[in-house]
Structure formats: structure tokens, C-alpha cells
Amino acid sequence: MAKKMFMVVEHFKNKDAAPVYQRFRERGRMLPIGLEYVSSWVDHKLERCYQLMETDDPALIDQWIACWNDLADFEVHQVITSQEAAAKVPDSPAVNAR
């Protein structure tokens, strides 16, 4: 099965990033084997984190969330690249990835 990309949005409980970063320092990301971290971004208020993950088994995301759901609420969205999206839209010009 091909790997799929997922955008995971973490909403820090009580808008407090400190407990999340403390656990991260103590235990690391705690990813199950087969779930790969690609990159992440945090909003400037330190209330939300956007993580790009890759896996061929979406159930692994649920396992990972179970390690963190006491500190954050999660949204998970399967995503594709802009180029893949453009290829799915008939007669669309190539999408600039900028």
C-alpha cells in the first residue's frame, strides 16, 4: 500500500503549549513504527501545532494521538500535494507550489 500524507492539527488544551513541550522533551514524539513525522509548524500564539505525517496505515495516527490526547485535541486530514490536486482537476494549469 502506498504511503499517504496527513495534516494533523493539534489544539493545545487550555491554549497551553508548555505541557506538550515538557512531555516531548521527556519522551520524544512517541511515534509508533510505521508513522513518520515529516515537518511541523506552530502558530505564533503557541495555541496550535500543524504536523505533516506519512503512513500507509492510518490507524497508527490513532495510536500516536492516544499518547497526547490528554494535552491536545486533534483534527486529522488526509492531504495531497498541490501538483497531485492539479492533476485531478481537468484542464487546470499547473499549480505553482509557492
Domains of the chain: 4-88 (3.30.70.100)
pLDDT recorded at residue 98: 55
> What digits encode the pLDDT tens for the residues 28-83?
999 999 999 999 999 999 999 999 999 999 999 999 999 999 999 999 999 999 99
| pTM attached to this predicted model | 0.85
pLDDT of residue 90: 80
* Count of C-beta atoms within a 10 Å radius of residue 48: 18
CB 77 within 8 A of CB 5: no
- Position 21 scores a pLDDT of 97
Of 62, 1, 60, the closest CA to residue 33 belongs to 60
Residue 19: band (very low, low, confident or very high) from pLDDT cuts 50, 70, 90: very high
For the chain, the residue count is 98
What is residue 91's predicted lDDT score, i.e. its pLDDT? 74
The b/e string for 19-28 (b: 16+ C-beta within 10 A; e otherwise) is: ebeebeeeee
Give residue 94's pLDDT: 59
- Sequence-distant (6+) residues with CB within 8 A of 72 are 10, 11, 12, 13, 20, 49
Round to whole Å and give the CA distance between 15 and 46: 7
